Amino acid sequence: NWIKEPVRWITTEKMAIYSLTVVNVWLGIPFNFILLYTGMQQIPEELYESSEIDGATGWQKVVYITLPMLKPVVIATFILGCILTFKVFDLVWIVTKGGPGGASHLLSTFSYSLAFDRFQFGKSAAVLVLMQIIVVLFIGFSNRMKWEER
């Protein structure tokens, strides 16, 4: 008897996009875990052994060994996560079709809806060009961050 009325997860404009975000994050956890776990396997055990001899605590090992060694993996995981999230189509289309009232539309679902529901192919193409511009800007920003890091 905790919930007196049904929770409107995907039927209200405020909750629909948050519900889809939670589902998308949930779907990405195994992929991100595998990438980070693989990165942790690549850290040499000798680093931890030598830091233990030097008297490092567990927290110091995490801060000064694990996190710096995982930085490239974390960056790659973040970039892949952004790319995969940016191109999410199936989740949104199957669950809400961009509704209610267009509140959960992403650029990909909005473009699809314009083209195949409203037959506005020109506007749909313009949305896709906007998506490409955003991707190119993201790649440029990512490359600039890598270049400044060197």
Indicate whether 85 and 131 sit together in one domain: no
Indicate whether 88 and 20 sit together in one domain: yes
Indicate whether 15 and 70 sit together in one domain: yes
- Rounded to whole angstroms, the Cα distance separating 68 from 58 reads 15
100 burial class (0-12, 13-18, 19+ CB within 10 angstroms)? middle
Residue 1, domain member (yes or no): no
Domain extent for 63:
6-96
Indicate whether 43 and 82 sit together in one domain: yes
- Average of pLDDT values for 120-149? 88
pLDDT at 111 over 70: yes
Alpha carbon separation from 3 to 6, 8, 13, 101 (Å, rounded): 7, 12, 20, 26
The model's pLDDT over 53-103, given as tens digits with 9 standing for 90+, comes to 999 999 999 999 999 999 989 988 988 888 888 888 999 999 888 888 888
pLDDT at 39: 95
pLDDT at 1 over 70: no
Indicate whether 124 and 87 sit together in one domain: no
Total number of domains in the chain = 2
- Rounded to whole angstroms, the Cα distance separating 115 from 50 reads 61
Indicate whether 133 and 82 sit together in one domain: no
Cβ atoms of 113 and 105 closer than 8 Å: yes
Residue 113, domain member (yes or no): yes
Taking the complete model, does pTM exceed 0.95, yes or no? no
Residue 65, domain member (yes or no): yes
What is the chain's mean pLDDT, rounded?
90
- Rounded to whole angstroms, the Cα distance separating 101 from 124 reads 18
Indicate whether 22 and 74 sit together in one domain: yes
